[in-house]
Amino acid sequence: MRRRWEILRTALLRHATPGAKMSRAALALLAALSVGAYLLAQYGVGGGEGDLHPMVAAAELMEAATVAIRDCRLARGVELSPDDVNRTGFIGVRYSPLTTTLGDLAAKRTTTNPNMAALLVRLLHDAGAEKGDAVAIGASGSFPALIVATLAATRAMGLHPILICSLGASQWGANDPRFTWLEIEDCLVAAGVFPEAYRAVAVSLGGDRDAALELDLEVRDALVAAVAARGARFLYEPDLARNVAERVRTYDAHAEGRRIAAFVGIGGNWADMGEDPVVLTLLPGLNVLTVVPEGPGRGVALAMAADGIPLVHLLNMRGLTTRYGLPWDPSPLPRPGEGHMYVTYSSRPLFPFHVLAGVYLAAIAGLAVAWRVVRRGLVPDR
């Protein structure tokens, strides 16, 4: 033992003075150790493609849906919006008789990124959704691309989507009366992108009190007639508590015994959001609430949370892209599988952070002890 230690000590001290050279060597070793630990903590080593496959599959499906929507829109004689710089078919107009509120053009274009569908896979996976589960989706017409992204994610994951959609839309959403969510849905089913079962199980007017009170009566009548022509179920209930109760019953009925693994809220539908100020504290993306206040202001989101169902909140697009690493208002659109999000979420790290931290600190301590032994010329006992 003594002989081995002498050989090690001699090798470390060979051609070195007691000062600067050994200090530089120790610092270089410490730097290499730190960089290695950082890379493992940041990127990890894991299962790789097995985790990425449904994300990429969902993004590719959304890309195919975008082509189908654009082609169908043009075939129906509805021109693309001049603000639709990526020619997706998702972007509406600045103002129309169907516009319920203000909107952000950059936010609407951001949602057309096909990798939004990959993000939804990530969020639903983190919510605990498993193949065969149901996913309740409450959406407004303000973000049609996010509805498609969510449907694409559920299809890639083998989930059962239950969509309730309102037709009113904010600026640059599905607010062209010639191409509302009803027409988009028709195009997707006709193209074979989604099956008939992915159509909305119920439709409402949206807007003020979910009754579109801010729209002209003629516009509301035209929407009701369009819903009736498709044989879709029409929801009309200006009382919040009754509206929420009806929506929850609808989700439960269409789940047909499946577990509802998550509620995805898209846009700011009045019934989904409710009037309780707690809903304003929801983070963009995944939320798991442990305490939910009771009261008449509860919307569908808080009613679901009270039953222990995770919430996926899709409204603040700037916050969503910042939190999950997606680009803001990209042009051209990224291809499926491209982006920082895939790098940071390719798989769970092989080495948990607390394990890495323990190994790193132990290595630092060992290096310090070795350095002191070499410096002082100490030899351990036999």
Residues 126-164: tens digit of each pLDDT = 999 999 999 999 999 999 999 999 999 999 999 999 999
Q: How far is CA 279 from the centre of its chain?
A: 18
How far is Cα 164 from Cα 382, in angstroms, rounded to an integer?
A: 77
How many helices and strands, by DSSP H and E, does the chain display?
14, 7
pLDDT at 148: 98
User: Which regions of the chain are under pLDDT 70?
Assistant: 1-51, 346-361, 363, 365-382
**Cβ count within 10 A of residue 167:** 28
Backbone angles phi, psi at 137, to 5 degrees: -125, 120
Are the beta carbons of 140 and 150 closer than 8 angstroms?
no
pLDDT at 295: 84
Q: Running DSSP on this structure, what letter comes out for residue 86?
A: T
Reading the block at residue 299, the tokens are 């919307």
pTM: 0.80
How far is Cα 306 from Cα 287, in angstroms, rounded to an integer?
A: 12
> In sequence order, what are the residues at sequence separation of 6 or more whose Cβ sits closer than 8 angstroms to the Cβ of residue 123?
262, 285, 286, 312
pLDDT at 123: 98
How far is Cα 206 from Cα 203, in angstroms, rounded to an integer?
A: 9
pLDDT at 117: 98
Percentages helix, strand, coil for the chain, rounded to the nearest 5?
A: 50, 10, 40
Per-residue exposure over 350-360, b if at least 16 CB sit within 10 Å of its own CB, e if not: eeeeeebeeeb
Task: Give the three-class secondary structure for 329.
Answer: coil
Length of the chain: 382
- Tell me the CA distances in angstroms from 170 to 99, 102, 137, 160, one per residue in order: 5, 5, 18, 28
Bridge partner residues of 286 (DSSP):
312
Query: H or E segment at 88?
Result: none
H helices present in the chain, as ranges:
2-13, 20-43, 49-75, 105-110, 115-126, 144-157, 181-190, 217-230, 240-255, 270-273, 300-306, 317-324, 340-344, 353-376
pLDDT at 47: 41
Are the beta carbons of 361 and 322 closer than 8 angstroms?
no
Q: Comparing C-alpha atoms, which of 149, 183, 143, 123 is closest to residue 61?
A: 149
Q: Comparing C-alpha atoms, which of 190, 35, 172, 7 is closest to residue 90?
A: 172
- Sheet of 234-235: strand order equals 234-235, 202-204, 160-166, 134-139, 260-266, 311-314, 285-287
**Half-sphere exposure of 221 toward its Cβ, with a 13 Å CA cutoff?**
3
How far is Cα 233 from Cα 228, in angstroms, rounded to an integer?
A: 8
Are the beta carbons of 210 and 222 closer than 8 angstroms?
no
Are the beta carbons of 268 and 140 closer than 8 angstroms?
yes
How far is Cα 167 from Cα 182, in angstroms, rounded to an integer?
A: 8
pLDDT at 341: 86
How far is Cα 112 from Cα 170, in angstroms, rounded to an integer?
A: 16
pLDDT at 183: 98
Reading the block at residue 201, the tokens are 């199980």
